[in-house]
Amino acid sequence: MQSYQYTVDLNELYNDRLTVNLRFRYPLEQKKVVFCFPKMVPGIYAEMNFGKHIDSLQAFDKNGAPLRIKRLNVNEWEISEAARIAGISYQVDDGWEAFIPRNSGMYYSAESSFDPDFFVINQHNLFGFIKGLERLPFHLEIRYPEYFYGATSLRKLTESPGTDHFYAPDYRTLVDQPLMYCRPDTTFLDIGNTRVCVAVYSTSGQPMSGLIAGHLEPLLQKQVIFLGGRLPVDNYTFLLHHNAQAAPDSYSADGLEHNSSTLILLNMRPDLHLIRANVYGIASHEFLHTLIPLALHSEQIHNFNFMEPEMSRHLWFYEGLTEYFTQLLPVRSGTISSYEFMENMTRKARDMQQYDNTLSLTYLSRMAVQRQDQYYNFYLRGALVNMCLDIQLRELSGGSYGVQNMVADLLKIYNKDTPFRDKDLFDDIARISYGKPIRQFFKKYVERGDPPPLEEYLLKAGVRYQPLTQALQEISEPSEAQVKLRKSWLNQ
C-alpha cells in the first residue's frame, strides 16, 4: 500500500528523546525529494519551525544502505536518489519539560513533552512528510508501557497490550489529532450525537477526570443546543495535562483546539475548584471551534500549506465570533444574567483600549504572524464587532435572525469538506441575510477598521455605553422596541 508507515516506541526514551522510524512505500521518479516538518500549523499564528527538534536524520534504501542527505534549513532535508528511498529515521527532542510558562511568545500547546510518566504528543512534532506528498495515508504504530492508556480522537485500527495502530488519510488529518499517553484517568460522556472523552494527567497523582467531566457536562449539553442540536464530529477528546508544582499564588493555562479534540495545559496548585474553573473557561471557547473554523472555514485553512501558509483575512470570524458565542451562550441559556453579560463585555471594551484599534481587522488577520502584539484584540474588538453585527441582524429582522442563524445558513452552503472563498465571505453573508446594510457594516468595521459602533448599536437594545469608562449598562426605562430587541438578542 502506498503510504507512510511510522513506528515509535515510547519505552525507548533516552535524554528526553524518542527515535522515529519511517517505512515509505511510494514510487518516486524524481532524483531528489525534500523531507519536511511544518513551519506552522493550523490554530497557531506564529512560525514554530518544528524541525528544530529533529536530529540525526538518516535515509536508507531497502538494503539499509544510507542515502545522501543535505539539510536545507531548520525544517527541510533534501534526499538524493529518491527512487531508492525505503526508510527514514531520526531522533526527536521534546518542546518542554514541565508546563511552567516563562516565555509569553511560546505556544506550549503546539509542542510535545516526553517523560517516563506521561507523553503529550502533537503529531507535527514527531512525524514529517515528503513535500508534495502530504495527501498520502499515514499509518502509525506506537508502542508504550502496558500500564499506560493512549487518549486521542485519531482513528485507531487495532490495539493490543502495549501497542496501538492508528490511521490518518493525510497529513492534515494526522496533525489535527494530538495524543496523550499516561496511566489512565479517563471519563466518557455522551453529548448529543458525540462521545466525549475527558483524559487527565496530573503530576499530583490525584484522579480528576470524573470531577472535571461532571463540571463540563452541563456546559457541553448547552453548547450542543446552541449549535443546533448536533455536532459535526462523532468523537471528541479533551486532553488535560496538569502540572501541580505551581507556586501557591501562581497559575496559568494554555489550550489549542482541533477538529475533534482540545489539548489543555494547566500550571496551578492541585485545587479542584481552580482547575475546574480554568478548564471550563478554555473548554467553553475551544469546543465552539468545532463550528468555526473547523466546520466552516476558507480555502486557506482547508488547504493549509505547512511550509508557507497563506493567512486568511477572517480571524474576526474564526476567533472573534467564537469568543462572542462563548459570552453569548451563557446569557441566552440563562446560566448568567444580562447584568453579568454586560460586565463581561465591559471588560472586553476596556481591555481593547490597550491595542491599536485603527487597524483593519482583515489586514491584521492577514498579518497575524507579523503583528503578534495585536493578535489578542481579535478576542476583544473582534467579539465586540460581532456583538454589534448580532444586534444589527436582530434589528433588521424584527428580532428573528441573529449571528447564530447566519452561521446556520452558511453551513447550508459550506461545511468541513467544502470551504468558502476567502474573498467571498462578506458577500456571502450579505446575500443570505440583509444585503447592502450588512455589506456596509463589514466594509466599515471589519475591512476599513472604523471603531465598533458600540454606543449607537447598544442603545437600540436598551443598553447605554459610556465611551469614557467603556461601561455597558442597561437603561432603567427602556422603550418597548428596545425591550423587544434585547429580549430577542439575549433571551432575557
Q: How many residues does the chain have?
A: 492
Q: Are residues 226 and 199 in the same domain?
A: yes
What does DSSP assign to residue 309? P
Q: Are residues 451 and 480 in the same domain?
A: yes
pLDDT tens for residues 25-63? Answer: 777 878 899 999 999 998 888 889 999 999 999 999 989
User: Which grid coordinates are listed for 43?
Assistant: 490554530
For the chain, what is the mean pLDDT?
91
pLDDT at site 254:
81
Residues of the chain falling short of pLDDT 50: none
**Domain limits for position 49:** 3-101+122-178
Q: Taking a C-beta distance cutoff of 8 angstroms, is the pair 179, 121 a contact?
A: yes
Is 116 part of any domain? Answer: no
pLDDT at site 101:
60
Q: Provide the CATH number for the domain around residue 467.
A: 1.10.390.10
pLDDT at site 106:
65
Q: Are residues 159 and 199 in the same domain?
A: no
Rounded (to 5) percent helix, strand, coil in the chain: 35, 25, 40
Is 211 part of any domain? Answer: yes
**What's the total number of domains in the chain?**
3
Using CA atoms, how far apart are residues 210 and 208, in angstroms rounded to an integer?
Answer: 6
pLDDT tens for residues 427-460? Answer: 999 999 999 999 999 999 999 989 999 999 999 9
pLDDT at site 181:
97
Examine the fold and report which residue of 290, 322, 355 is the final residue of a domain before the chain moves on: 290
Q: Are residues 169 and 235 in the same domain?
A: no
Q: Are residues 67 and 167 in the same domain?
A: yes
Is 266 part of any domain? Answer: yes
pLDDT at site 355:
95
pLDDT at site 105:
53
Q: Are residues 165 and 192 in the same domain?
A: no
Q: Are residues 331 and 284 in the same domain?
A: no
Q: Are residues 79 and 170 in the same domain?
A: yes
Q: Are residues 141 and 277 in the same domain?
A: no
C-alpha pair distances (Å), 377 with each of 51, 320, 345, 368: 30, 9, 13, 11
Q: Render 254-290 in DSSP notation, one character per residue.
A: EEEE-SSEEEEEEES-S-HHHHHHHHHHHHHHHGGGG
Q: Are residues 275 and 315 in the same domain?
A: no
Q: Provide the CATH number for the domain around residue 42.
A: 2.60.40.3650
pLDDT at site 1:
62
